[in-house]
A and B are shown apart, each in its own frame.
Chain A
């Protein structure tokens, strides 16, 4: 660059700087009193996004609850990996948040975000993920700012699903199992296996659900079941998401068998599950996790407002709600994970924050999670 251009550049920069300074002085004198708006507590929300059903629903629920409880929320949307969550967490802490809520994208996120919160003296709570590593678990439990974690109780739900099939008189099943290294999947596998044992149901054959979510593998697997085990009465599937549910249905529909002659119990809901119930193929399903997020969030608000529930750490579990008929499926689709529907009343929300609230109160709300609860909440009964 020529010397002339350089000096020109410097001049422009100087003018710019001077203009900025002037602007700052005026801006500063006018904006000095923004933080005097009382003692409203700030909660930092690290959330994966608000465009899908669950994401949008919790976004709406939490905003509503914040209004009811008079706390301020600062959302940081879009993080899908631990490094980004950590960045969001640091920014939220620096923005003056008194508590941080997040879904750990992996077990290590508990450790990293927990450390950041501990260093800053900020409370934190999580939901939807269990901790599968002992070292991390120990560190989390030793963290004085850790409030609570809520995670899915897949095991019991799986057992309940099998029991539901047993009631329909089923005795011989095949099973699509989950990844044996994934803690959550192992829970589901065991739930199915133990449920079968308790109800005297024989598992004829098993194949592992492809982690890649390859639909043709699932279709082939189901066809194999039908060829190898003509006496099969039902199929248990550890997951209906990722196209697995649709693949099972397409295999059954293509088999030429009478619709409903083979029953399916699938974990999680999927596209076309209403039709599958109507046809008679699908007989049990489950879903709905947003309550976990809400309870974890409420427990965090409670702690931030100075209410200590108990000395030690506490954790809670949620069983996804069981869907056993076409009508229930309809109710589920219409009212669960719908951002426009507030299933929990303002009174209930208020009752879960206060000096006298106990762990049991929270767990009771979690345990209450069922189709019947939904019906009542929306005034169907």
Chain B
């Protein structure tokens, strides 16, 4: 068997009263891929953070390359050869690509404290080329590139340092299919080189495909290690949740069903350079899915429909607004007319992190709560409590800060906010992105409930199975243009849709 690169034994981590990790032991071997799987808050990120030097364990020992290992910081771990890729942005705005590539290591280019930019750019060029990023200009500021490119640049940075261990923490969740494929390639290359790899992912298919061994965690506790045939989505899901999942993960029915009445009508909607001539109607009780590659313009389309981006031409009409037919010209009009928008980038676009759950939930419905201009704290609390309970948010109380919640619970808060406003139309952009199966199932059930109430849902998803599993109709987009419409049926397969969008 391959050499054990790192052993972490009897690891504990406590944050105040919260026990994030309790007595977990794991080992990584050279040239193999270890998957860490569990629901949000199961402690898988915590344990990898400890290995990567983000914070020290409360108790436990780590042995790395035969020696005791106590990283003082991320930089320390990096120097030792442990690279950590997360789902968050790891690059710094306002600096060039090259500066980002050598962040914290500019010293090697400095003469008497003066960093040689020319040399820095040259070496960065080489590293980018080696990682298939020849189209990236190292001299340009990092923010000129998309999230995905930046993630790739960050990855290139990590690989350039010849890691012995590579930790990939939910990195793929934020990427398009193309980006994911590139990450898979990298994993294969690194595996061949003898690098030990730890993957954390919610995408169980991905885990099945990539991992040699899978360690399952639940509530901070070690559950099981799977290998070989046992690594399949069903077994993993069961072990993660600790019970059998019913067959109704997605919608149970396989027929397209919605009422005749149109709630939202999009006509000739165009934003120059992003998408063109979009035409569709959303009906009462319909889940309308939109699928495509990440850059096809579908995310911007949803923002435009909601009124957050000004279209070049075309219109978005709500048929039953407060005052009859209403054009959704801006977000204020949309929300006043009970349209909800759940953005893809939860942390950046929909949450008030250092703010209580209560204030997050009531943010959009203060008009409903106010008497005159007065908003009573009691009514705020009551509404927040009601909606949080309805979404089963796991929390101490509604005064708790949102930033302390896990990803799935954060998303529940976002949805609760729109339920509190009695929304009649939901626009959802990747509503289950980065969320564990338990909460995912809850969100699917909620979508189905909303559909039964006659609420229209417009949903973009990058997961084909989600679209097939939930939508009544699926509109596919390619290069900013509407291309095909699929109607719900049992025969519809992932391959059909992928064929349409690529």
Contacts and interface: CB of A to CB of B under 8 A. Distances in A.
Interface in B388-423: 396-397, 399-400
B15 to A, nearest CB: 16
A2 B400 CA distance: 8
A1 B396 CA distance: 12
Instruction: Please classify the interface of chain B as helix (H, G, I), strand (E, B), loop, or mixed, using the class held by over half of its residues.
Output: loop
Contacts of B397: 2
B242 to A, nearest CB: 30
- 5 closest A-B pairs by beta carbon, nearest first, are A2-B399, A1-B399, A2-B396, A2-B397, A2-B400
Interface of B: 396-397, 399-400
B330 to A, nearest CB: 35
B354 to A, nearest CB: 13
Interface residues of A, number: 2
5 contacts: A1-B399, A2-B396, A2-B397, A2-B399, A2-B400
A13 B95 CA distance: 45
A94 B396 CA distance: 52
Contacts of A1: 399
Contacts of B400: 2
Contacts, number: 5
A1 to B, nearest CB: 7
Nearest to B400: A2
B381 to A, nearest CB: 14
Contacts of A2: 396-397, 399-400
Interface string A1-24: 110000000000000000000000
A374 to B, nearest CB: 56
A2 B397 CA distance: 8
A2 B396 CA distance: 9
Nearest to A5: B399
A1 B398 CA distance: 10
A1 B397 CA distance: 11
A1 B401 CA distance: 9
B402 to A, nearest CB: 14
Nearest to B396: A2
Contacts of B399: 1-2
Nearest to B397: A2
A151 B400 CA distance: 67
B385 to A, nearest CB: 15
Nearest to B399: A2
B62 to A, nearest CB: 34
Nearest to B356: A1
A1 B399 CA distance: 7
A340 to B, nearest CB: 46
A2 B395 CA distance: 12
A2 B399 CA distance: 7
A136 to B, nearest CB: 45
Nearest to A4: B396
Nearest to A1: B399
B119 to A, nearest CB: 50
Interface in A260-280: none
Interface in A1-59: 1-2
A155 B400 CA distance: 75
A250 B130 CA distance: 67
A105 B399 CA distance: 53
Interface in A271-329: none
Nearest to A2: B399
A354 B400 CA distance: 74
A252 to B, nearest CB: 50
A355 B382 CA distance: 79
A207 B181 CA distance: 82
Contacts of B396: 2
A7 to B, nearest CB: 14
B247 to A, nearest CB: 41
A37 to B, nearest CB: 54
Interface string A318-347: 000000000000000000000000000000
B400 to A, nearest CB: 8
A175 B399 CA distance: 75
B467 to A, nearest CB: 41
B399 to A, nearest CB: 6
A205 B397 CA distance: 83
A1 B356 CA distance: 9
A2 B401 CA distance: 10
Nearest to B401: A2
A362 B396 CA distance: 79
B133 to A, nearest CB: 47
Interface string A153-172: 00000000000000000000
